[in-house]
A and B are shown apart, each in its own frame.
Chain A
Amino acid sequence: MTDTKNVKYYDNLAVASSPHLVTALDTQKTMMWVLIALIPSFIASVFYFGIGAVILTAVCAGCSALFEYGYERLLGKKVTVKDLSACVTGVILAMNLPANLPVWMAVIGCFVAIVIVKQLYGGLGRNFANPAIVGRIVLLLSFTSYMTTWPVTRLNQTADAVTGATPLGLLADGALAEAPSLGTMFIGNIGGAMGETCTIAVLIGLAILIWKKIISPIIPLCYMGTVFVFAFIYYSFAGGDYSALHMALFHLLAGGVVFGATFCATDYVTSPIMRNAKIAFGIGCGLVTMIIRLFCAYPEGASFAILFMNVMAPLLDMVAQNRFYGISAAEKAAKKAAKEAGKEAAK
């Protein structure tokens, strides 16, 4: 017989509701992976735009964290800078700016993004619009000339040309013949916002996010797919000097679609949760982007499109939620199987 009389009894154990095991992936690690996915874009921006990109990125990330810390300390709230979400906002905002933007303007952008868009609505998880996107739009409307003066990449710099147009700018001006080739746009040797130009770097980031299951691929794929299909159909009818396929790719590679689809439209807080709503969200982003690009005064529409769909997201979620039910996938599969069995029997 085992002698357990000398073993102490424990009568004050902790009780809690199950489960008693949770995943190691928390908000901070999630944000860390987003930052890691932004590294290729950052490297590309430094490669093309030099030291200015480093300064602007560092200032934006630092200021965003500082504004969050300051606001939360000032209002006596729990300081949540450690979750890195403010840094992610800062870096994404920086990637949306031209590399030669005066630093003080970037600081204003960070203030708008963190304090006005995020914290005034209740902090992380409560904002209805993507902070980085709104920060960018406020800067664009306030300092339009600075925000639309794009530096030429270091590889293309000549003595008399330090700024140039973006491919979409050229398209809007009807000077499409001067636009760079698709290959040049793919590797990012063009004018534009720091992180947006190099598509290959953004795609590496997208692959990292999908591989680590940080984001679901639904929104980026629907967004990019819609832009591609919309442009293809439009140019099939409108015609032009280039083939519809060329123009569809052009619209994908030019401007902020790929970057926006990867890092901005997939923001958890401001995108829908339900699968069907995500599909509608991605398609909506693509449609609005293309409508602005083709029919409106602005050459680029990705930011406005994402902001517009951010506001739509709760609505889309609500519609999707009203249509879901327990074991939906299973019931659907069962119905489908029954239908197929019926068809086979009919044969």
Chain B
Amino acid sequence: MFGAKHLNSIHAGHYKNTAGCATEVMPVPDVVKISMSQNIGAPCKPLVKKGDTVLVGQKIGDTDAFLHVPVHSSVSGVVTGIETQRNAMGGYDTLVVIQSDGKQEIDPSVQPPEITDQKSFIAAVKESGLVGLGGASFPTWLKFNPKNLGEPMTLIINGAECEPFITSDHRTMLEDAQNIIDGALMIMKYIQAPECYIGIEDNKQDAIDQFNKMFAEQGITNIKTFPLQASYPKGAERVLIYEVTGKTCNAGVLPADLGCIVSNVTSVAFWGQYIKDGMPLVKKRVTIDGDAVAKPGNVLLPIGTMIHDAIGFCGGYKEEPRKILMGGPMMGRAIFSDRMPIVKNNNAILAFTKEQSLIPEETACISCGRCHTACPFDLLPTGFADAYEARDVKRLNDLKIMQCMECGSCSYICPAHRPLAFINKLGKGLVREASQK
């Protein structure tokens, strides 16, 4: 619409095996472990102690730190302990372990929020426990409270879901469309955005059609669907902004500075629900797929459910899993144990068998330049690799390594199967380290 040119992208297989699987609600598990670190800001401190009785929606974690989002209980029951567990990042998380009583009694504090102005809107977003559900888990209240409020804004709802395998956003758009519309209208009001685009990859035509039909029926003209070419990584924030508005968002620039606020479609759907019943973020729709899972599908489960239990609900393991991913195969994190709990920003759990998780052995670089032509930002991953090998920080900066968003397109496309995205991460770490000295 604005820019005629698209950014580079790759055509990875879609593997949207579960797109037709309507969401199943998982019964409340016996035990949930709710992590206190569910946003990229400060971790929360537990507000409950061993032996306390908790109800659904009760706030169980909070902190005084600025950048944070509170955590709520997803079940009713008794706190049986506060545990520390090593997380997938290598650090440690505090987990509140709750033995469910199966009654799912709702906390009396769960009431539809009273929103009258911008201030009460932001306060309500914060209290709802909402974080960016696309995977970054950035506190949403901060995103909706830009410094340059009042400047012309565009709300971009990210329904691209470009990661292979994941279909949870797709199911949300099909099953929760009304909530998305209601939520979007309210967010537009308070971030003062006259228009809103829902970016959806054109391999989800049913979702696009359904939205268009609903907009026509309800006479909504300021929200529009924006079909995107179905290629990876169209759902990356900076790529989506370019595709929708034609604006260039370099790394380190807040989208709000460009007059764009990007929010994941599931975050908006949650908000549309929250303004109706006031139930904080305690449930999440998660795609469970992979060769090792007996019955792949989309599952609505309480936050804190152990991955092991969630896969158990999907018929358990069909074969021995070799790799379990939190998130999609392109940017998801491989975890070392299935004893970890589901957190707010999980949109998929993929259990791969040995065959599926096999990455071919690295061979010599043949300088084909495919990594460069695949990079959405025209960066040069082989250059990063050479410079990293020489620990040459200046060269890394000259090649603008900090622009890399670690989408993994270079590693995907490399015929020599070099771990280029991994080297980019190491290189970025090196540059950060050097700048701190």
Contacts and interface: CB of A to CB of B under 8 A. Distances in A.
Partners in one complex: yes
Contacts of A18: 329-334, 406, 408, 411, 421
Contacts of B329: 18-21
Contacts of A125: 364-367, 416
B416 A27 contact: yes
A14 interface: yes
B380 interface: yes
A326 B357 CA distance: 32
Interface in A267-300: 268-269, 271-274
B30 A273 contact: no
Interface string B360-371: 100111111100
Contact of B321 (A10, A123, A321): A10
B330 A19 contact: yes
B332 A20 contact: yes
A275 to B, nearest CB: 8
B92 interface: no
A329 B7 contact: yes
B378 A2 contact: no
B146 interface: no
B164 interface: yes
Interface stretch (B50-58, B112-120, B195-203, B305-313): B305-313
B338 interface: yes
B412 A7 contact: no
A334 B246 contact: yes
Interface in B412-429: 412-417, 419, 421-422, 425
Interface stretch (B33-41, B125-133, B247-255, B275-283): B247-255
Nearest to A313: B367
B411 A22 contact: yes
A145 interface: no
A321 B397 CA distance: 12
B414 A22 contact: yes
A8 B309 CA distance: 11
A26 B361 CA distance: 10
A26 B379 contact: no
Interface in B2-20: 2-5, 7-8, 10, 12-13
Contacts of B332: 18, 20
Contacts of A16: 323, 334, 359
B142 interface: no
A80 B382 contact: no
Contacts of A331: 248
A230 to B, nearest CB: 27
A330 interface: yes
B352 interface: yes
A7 B317 contact: yes
A268 B247 contact: no
Contact of A4 (B308, B336, B376): B308
Given A21-B329, A23-B415, A327-B7, A12 B336 contact: yes
B217 interface: no
Interface string A117-149: 000000111100000000000000000000000
A163 interface: no
Nearest to B410: A19
A13 to B, nearest CB: 5
A26 B248 contact: no
Nearest to B26: A2
Nearest to A1: B27
B334 A30 contact: no
Interface in B201-248: 238, 242, 246-248
B394 interface: no
Say whether chain A's binding surface is mostly helix, strand, loop, or mixed.
loop
B308 A7 contact: yes
A157 to B, nearest CB: 41
Interface in A139-168: none
A42 to B, nearest CB: 23
A104 interface: no
A9 interface: yes
A237 interface: no
Contacts of B156: none
A311 interface: no
Given A15-B334, A324-B380, A27 B2 contact: no
Nearest to A16: B334
Contacts of B2: 337
A205 B322 CA distance: 42
B335 interface: yes
B432 interface: no
B368 A11 contact: no
Counting chain B CB atoms within 10 Å of each CB, which of A20, A25, A329 scores highest? A20
Contacts of B10: 23
Contact of B417 (A22, A80, A274, A326): A22
A23 B380 contact: no
Contact of B27 (A2, A13, A85, A124): A2
Nearest to A26: B415
A73 interface: no
Nearest to B249: A327
A83 B368 CA distance: 15
Contacts of B364: 27, 80, 123-126
Contacts of A20: 323, 325, 329-330, 332, 334, 352, 357, 359
Contacts of B357: 14, 20
Contact of B366 (A8, A12, A268, A337): A268
Interface in A1-55: 1-4, 7-23, 25-27, 29-30
A26 B363 contact: yes
B400 interface: yes
B377 interface: yes
B249 to A, nearest CB: 8
B308 A1 contact: no
Contact of A124 (B242, B337, B366): B366
A334 B250 CA distance: 13
Given A17-B425, A329-B8, 16 more contacts: A1-B27, A4-B29, A4-B309, A7-B311, A14-B323, A14-B357, A21-B12, A21-B164, A21-B330, A23-B412, A27-B364, A83-B363, A268-B366, A326-B400, A326-B403, A333-B5
Interface of A: 1-4, 7-23, 25-27, 29-30, 80, 83, 85, 123-126, 216, 268-269, 271-274, 321-322, 324-331, 333-334, 337
20 contacts: A1-B30, A3-B312, A7-B308, A7-B311, A9-B337, A10-B320, A10-B338, A14-B334, A16-B323, A19-B330, A19-B408, A22-B360, A23-B415, A83-B363, A124-B363, A269-B367, A327-B7, A327-B248, A333-B246, A337-B3
